[in-house]
Amino acid sequence: MNNQDCIFCKIVAGDIPCFKIYETGNILSFLDIGPVNKGHALVIPKNHYKNIWDFPAELGAEVLTAAQVVGDAIVKATGADGMNILMNNNAAAGQLVFHAHFHLIPRFKNDGFKLWKQSEYDNMDEASALAQKIEKMIRSVN
């Protein structure tokens, strides 16, 4: 499964160079060319999947293993104090390349980056109603 217009598929195929740091039969990890902090890497499936909902669950354990191995190595190599591991899904969430990928971003105590602002529910009834709606959606799928 490959998308000939996808930059990550071109990296997997070897048509575009990358700074590869980890590879298995199904997974590739390389440095992000626009890092938040130096050492910022991506973990991608070699096959093209658009986002988390297109991504096969059976590949999850291999991605988690890659994130653990690569993340640990990044922290050690950079002296990072922590790491964000995240995935943006769809344009509204900041996804720029529509090939499923996970960001491993080394973090430092004084790097100046902040997490997004949190908000609150208006009341517990609102939270309860939304939880029930989500739970109902899950039951309807399973």
- Give the end-to-end CA distance of the chain in Å, rounded to a whole number: 26
Token pair, residue 42, equals 């991506």
Token pair, residue 7, equals 């930059």
Q: Order across the sheet with 82-86: list the strands.
A: 20-23, 27-31, 41-45, 102-107, 82-86
* Phi-psi group of 94: left, alpha or beta (phi > 0 → left; psi -120 to 50 → alpha; rest → beta): left
Which residue in 40, 48, 99, 101 is the catalytic one? 101
Residue 101 falls in the annotated catalytic set: yes
Q: Which residues are part of the catalytic machinery?
A: 101
